[in-house]
Amino acid sequence: MVIFFIYVVLFEFILPVNRVLPMPHMLFESFLYIWEGYNILQAIAITSSIVYFSLVVSYFIIRLFAGRLIQLSIEYPGPVEKLKIFRYFPSFFFAILFAYWFEDSIAAEFLFGLLSSLLMIAGSLLNSSRSFNKTYFEAGLNMHLSRPEVYSKIVYKQIQPVFFSDLFRIHYYLWILVMIYEFICGIEGFGGIYRTALLYNDYAGLFSIAVVISILILIGSSVIKYIDEKIFFWEE
């Protein structure tokens, strides 16, 4: 509240028109016109659908094969480490590559979001698997469970809190990646809206759109936090 008061006083009454932050009255006015001028509701439908569809589907796909992936990571660390060279490729490159192949296809954007989410969630699972307790692993073998069963029923269960909590980070980065793709291709999600606002030099609109996106990301993060606290409440 104090920060908001300082912002209003400083940028409305003291500082002249600037390119740091828009004047409060301009920001308020922009909140009103962006809903029709930029078709915010359509942008919410497109971008949020792709982000959350990709996140949910990817999570359950990785969960389905979690045992095998963990086993691969623990028993064959060499090949897995070599695959990590691809993480040094900038995400921007893959977005441009998809844009080059498919242009402004919404179906391609769904595929891009799904693949991005799958790779990030799989990487998170492999990193989380390093912290498993070998005592539980040995106990599972002593119970005459097969190695795949131990990895899927015991090791995965143990690392689930750490693995799931990483969805906060993945959720945020997935929003960024999807919007980058939309910005490049001019798709009418939030990325495409940012592109239009930039072309029209709509300074106040850029900030208003950012606030709407921030609220949506906050809501999504709150849902993830609620699920995390209700389901994955045990210690690793």
Give the pLDDT confidence of 139-182 residue by residue, as tens digits. 776 776 777 777 787 888 888 888 888 899 999 999 999 999 99
Segment 59-74, tens digit of pLDDT: 999 989 888 888 887 7
Radius of gyration of the CA atoms of the chain, in A = 22
The model's pTM? 0.83
Q: Can you say whether residue 144 is alpha, beta or left, with left for phi > 0 and alpha for psi between -120 and 50 degrees?
A: left
Q: Which two tokens stand for residue 171?
A: 């959720």
pLDDT at 18 over 70: no
Q: Where are the domains of the chain?
A: 25-231
pLDDT at 133 over 90: no
Q: Looking at residue 22, what is its pLDDT? A: 61
Q: How many CB atoms lie within 10 A of CB 134?
A: 9
The three-state secondary structure class of 7 is: helix
Domain 25-231: CATH superfamily, name plus number: MetI-like (1.10.3720.10)
Sign, CA dihedral 72-77-82-88, equals positive
Of the listed ranges 5-14, 83-92, 219-228, the one predicted with least confidence: 5-14
Q: How many CB atoms lie within 10 A of CB 213?
A: 21
Region 109-119: mean pLDDT is 92
